[in-house]
Amino acid sequence: MDLVIGLRIGDENWELATQDGFTVLPVWEATKIAQIAQVW
């Protein structure tokens, strides 16, 4: 399973998630490619 994290552009966690090896996209792009989404 491929995991993509959707965040707002400029979110302080964007760089942290990228450093941890996750693919990070703006929320609207992540939701367009998602088969399953979890919203917090």
What is the residue extent of each domain of the chain?
4-33
- What's the confidence (pLDDT) of residue 23? 96
pLDDT single digits (tens) 1-40: 789 999 999 999 999 999 999 999 999 999 999 999 998 8
Question: CA-to-CA distance for 20 and 35, rounded, in angstroms?
Answer: 22
- What's the confidence (pLDDT) of residue 13? 96
Q: Determine the length of the chain.
A: 40
- What's the confidence (pLDDT) of residue 8? 96
- What's the confidence (pLDDT) of residue 28? 95
Q: How many CB atoms lie within 10 A of CB 6?
A: 20
Q: H or E element: which one contains 23?
A: strand 23-26
Phi, psi of 5 (to 5 degrees): -105, 130
- What's the confidence (pLDDT) of residue 20? 97
